[in-house]
Amino acid sequence: MMNSSSIDITNQYKRAYNSDNIYLENYQQSKENEDYKDAIERIHLEKYAIDNNIKYNILLNSQNKNAILPQDARILLMKVFDNFDILIVFLVIYLSCTILTEEYYIGTIKNLLTKPYTRVKILLSKILTNFLIIISVVIILVVIQYLLGGLLFGFESYSLEAIRYNTFSQDIETMNLAQYMLVVSLSKILMYIILSGFSLLFGIITNNMALNILISLGIYFLSTFKTLLNNITKYLFIYNWDISQYLFTDNASLQQALIISGISLLIIFSFLIFIFKNKDVKNM
């Protein structure tokens, strides 16, 4: 592990800033495939660090390869969803695929439906259980990262603020770290809930756990291909459900993502309730 005290951080920021200025000036001729927005964000953060004599790493989304900036517990906590998003997604999909599909597969759904409860209540209890598990998984993961990061790098960095670049206002925003993690966690949970609803819906339609997992994972991975974004696909729910990517942009984009995600959630669960209420299980 590199000792941050042995690194001249101010000099590294200056080195990175000068390098990134040259990179942006020659961006069209560059053979690197880095996102221009990432480079713009990084250079603003580097300048902010230099102007304010910041002695720790504030580069969250990308870092100049020509400069060395140390890791700390705070920056790793802020990256927890970037590093472990696929793990949470897989758990969400697996839980959502099994919580109802397994009932159909082993035939216990018949016994469940003989209980003195309506189908809607049974379904809502399953959905609520799933949501509580998702929230618990997110909380546990954040707490584990908090403890591991603190033990490895020291807990003192958690007293520092979260610093982000707003791509719309082209300004630096600072936020209490606890508040930042709460906002980001809630924005990610919305995506997990929509994905969970999608998996539940396909589980009821297909009754095939393996196929459901493949379809759900395919939808998630499709949402990560930003090259498919255009004037039509930008309105698809899979390109709007990760609200965290709109937190430091213009309010219009954030509101659009929230509206599309909300409508998608309503549609998915409406279909889910309708199909579950009318599904014939007598011959299963």
Q: Give the total number of structural domains in the chain.
A: 2
Residue 284 lies in a domain: no
CB 47 within 8 A of CB 61: no
- pLDDT at site 158: 96
Cβ-count burial 147-183 (b if 16+ within 10 Å, e if not): eebbeebeeebbebebbbbebeeeebeebebeebbee
Do 166 and 272 reside in the same domain of the chain?
Answer: yes
pTM assigned to the model: 0.85
Do 83 and 191 reside in the same domain of the chain?
Answer: yes
DSSP line for 214-272: HHHHHHHHHHT-GGG--TTGGGSGGGTS-GGGGTTS-HHHHHHHHHHHHHHHHHHHHHH
Per-residue pLDDT of the chain (284 residues; tens, 9 = 90+): 444 555 789 999 999 999 999 888 887 766 566 678 888 999 999 999 999 999 999 998 888 888 888 889 999 999 999 999 999 999 999 988 888 777 776 767 777 777 777 888 888 888 898 899 999 999 999 999 999 999 999 999 999 999 999 989 999 999 999 999 999 999 999 999 999 999 999 888 888 888 888 999 999 999 988 777 788 888 899 999 999 999 999 889 899 999 999 999 999 999 999 998 887 766 55
Do 43 and 83 reside in the same domain of the chain?
Answer: no
Q: What is the CA radius of gyration of the chain?
A: 23
Residue 283 lies in a domain: no
Do 121 and 139 reside in the same domain of the chain?
Answer: yes
User: 53 is in which domain, residue-wise?
Assistant: 4-70
- pLDDT at site 182: 96
Do 191 and 50 reside in the same domain of the chain?
Answer: no
Alpha-carbon distance of 281 to 284, in angstroms, equals: 5
